[in-house]
Structure formats: C-alpha cells, structure tokens
C-alpha cells in the first residue's frame, strides 16, 4: 500500500488514477470557505448592467473584459475554483510533473489565498498559455492563439 501510494505521488501525471485524484481535489475546492465580497462577486455582479459596472471604483478590467468575463460568470464561483484546479492539473500533465508537485502547488499559500477569493488570475494567466501551446500547428492555431491573447488581455498587468 505504501509503495503504491509513494509511486502514485512520485510519478508524472499520466494515468486515470492521477486524474482521479486531481478531479477529487478540484471538487473539494467547491467547499472552500470564501471571504465576503470575493473577487468573483466583485467582477461579475454588474455584468448585467453593461458599462454601468464602471460606477464601481474597484472594477479594474478593460471594456473588452465584459465579453470575456461572461464565461467566468456563467461557471459560478465554485465552478471557477474547480476550473482553476483542473487548469493546474492540465499544466502538470502537459509538463510531465509529478502528482506530488501538483499537490505542493495546491497547498501553497498563494494558491489557497487565490481560491479563497475565487480570483480570476490563475485562469486568466494559465489557460491562455496552455491554449497557445495546445493548438500548436493545428488548423485551429489562429483561432486558439487569438482567443489566448484575448484572455490574456483581461489581465494586462499580469
């Protein structure tokens, strides 16, 4: 049992067992306690109001962000946390990292704080990079890379 447990965490993310653990961890973040008025609420509550969202002095996203924040709004705050963990799992798989490395990133204070706020930073910075590399030299290269750049423009300071 210990040998299997050690082997599971010391090998690159490749098997369904690895992905089962990543999925279980992602779903556990549905229950992550949230700070009042977290980033998800702050950034998506006024989307129904169009440009009136800029009446809020804390709203910092560019006008084109209104379009790109709709999927973030529709996935809900728990869904955004799950998507963030799965994006990190995708990066772990793509780069051949061990499951132990994935777990170390998940329990890091920066990641946990980001999840407590349901912050868009991880999705806005990691998903475009993964998308850019995934489309590679396929026929979808132009569309994928254009979408990746559009997502990156949500967080120009990143």
Give domain limits for the chain: 2-152
| Closest of 100, 153, 98 to residue 127, by C-alpha | 153
The confidence score (pLDDT) of residue 83 equals 95
pLDDT, tens digit, 9 for 90 and up, residues 12-54: 999 999 999 999 999 999 999 998 888 888 888 877 776 677 7
The confidence score (pLDDT) of residue 11 equals 92
The confidence score (pLDDT) of residue 1 equals 45
pTM: 0.86
Tell me the C-alpha distance between 145 and 158, whole Å: 18
Enter the DSSP assignment of 71.
H
Tell me the C-alpha distance between 143 and 155, whole Å: 20
């Amino acid at each position: 049992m210990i040998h299997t447990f050690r082997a599971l965490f010391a090998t690159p993310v490749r098997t369904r067992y690895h992905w089962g653990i990543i999925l279980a961890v992602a779903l556990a973040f549905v229950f992550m306690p949230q700070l009042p008025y977290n980033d998800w609420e702050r950034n998506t509550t006024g989307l129904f109001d169009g440009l009136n969202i800029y009446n809020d002095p804390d709203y910092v996203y560019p006008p084109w962000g209104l379009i790109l924040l709709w999927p973030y709004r529709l996935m809900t705050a728990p869904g955004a946390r799950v998507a963030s963990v799965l994006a990190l799992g995708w990066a772990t798989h793509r780069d051949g990292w061990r499951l132990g490395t994935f777990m170390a990133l998940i329990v890091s204070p920066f990641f946990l704080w980001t999840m407590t706020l349901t912050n868009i930073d991880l999705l806005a910075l990691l998903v475009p990079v993964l998308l850019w590399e995934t489309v590679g030299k396929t026929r979808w290269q132009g569309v994928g890379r254009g979408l990746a750049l559009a997502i990156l423009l949500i967080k120009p300071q990143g």
